Amino acid sequence: MARTLWGLLSGRLRVIVEIVILAMIAAFLGLRLYSVLGRRPEQNDEPLRRRVEQPDASPAPRALAPRLPEKPGVAGRPVPALPEASGFESPAEAGIRAIVAADRRFDVGQFLTGARSAYGMVLEAFWRGEKDELSQLCDRDVYEGFASAIDARLAAGETLDARLIRIEDAKIVSAEYAAPVARVTVRFVADVASVTRDSAGTVIAGSLDDAIESRDLWTFSRDLTSRDPDWLLDETDEA
- Whether residue 27 is found in the same domain as residue 105: no
Q: What size, in residues, is the chain?
A: 239
48 in any annotated domain: no
- Whole-number Å distance between alpha carbons of 112 and 103: 16
**Do residues 109 and 80 lie in contact, with contact meaning Cβ atoms separated by under 8 Å?**
no
- Whether residue 91 is found in the same domain as residue 34: no
177 in any annotated domain: yes
64 in any annotated domain: no
- Whether residue 1 is found in the same domain as residue 105: no
The CATH number given to whatever domain includes residue 131 is 3.10.450.240
Per-residue pLDDT of the chain (239 residues), as tens digits, is 444 444 544 555 565 656 666 666 665 555 554 444 444 444 444 443 433 334 444 444 333 333 333 333 343 445 455 555 579 999 999 999 999 999 999 999 999 999 999 999 999 999 999 999 999 999 999 999 999 999 999 999 999 999 999 999 999 999 999 999 999 999 999 999 999 999 999 999 999 999 999 999 999 999 999 999 999 999 999 98
DSSP secondary structure code for residue 138 in this structure: B
- Whether residue 102 is found in the same domain as residue 218: yes
Count of alpha carbons within 13 angstroms of residue 207, beta-carbon side: 4
What's residue 33's pLDDT? 43
Question: How far is CA 125 from each of CA 15, 161, 194, rounded to the nearest angstrom?
Answer: 112, 12, 14
What's residue 12's pLDDT? 56
Q: What is the pTM of this model?
A: 0.66
Beta bridge mates, 207: 194
What's residue 30's pLDDT? 55
223 in any annotated domain: yes
43 in any annotated domain: no
- Whether residue 30 is found in the same domain as residue 141: no
What's residue 86's pLDDT? 73
- Whether residue 175 is found in the same domain as residue 116: yes
Beta bridge mates, 98: none
- Whether residue 28 is found in the same domain as residue 131: no
- Whole-number Å distance between alpha carbons of 170 and 187: 6
180 prior amide bond cis, ω within 30:
yes
Beta strands (DSSP E) in the chain are: 159-178, 181-197, 203-223, 232-238
Q: Into how many domains does the chain fold?
A: 2
- Whether residue 105 is found in the same domain as residue 34: no
- Whether residue 32 is found in the same domain as residue 111: no
**Do residues 129 and 146 lie in contact, with contact meaning Cβ atoms separated by under 8 Å?**
no
59 in any annotated domain: no
- Whether residue 91 is found in the same domain as residue 30: no
Ordered strands of the 232-238 beta sheet: 159-178, 181-197, 203-223, 232-238
- Whether residue 26 is found in the same domain as residue 140: no
Rounded (10°) CA dihedral 107, 217, 210, 206: 140
15 in any annotated domain: yes
What's residue 71's pLDDT? 36
20: containing domain: 1-38
- Whether residue 103 is found in the same domain as residue 20: no
182 in any annotated domain: yes
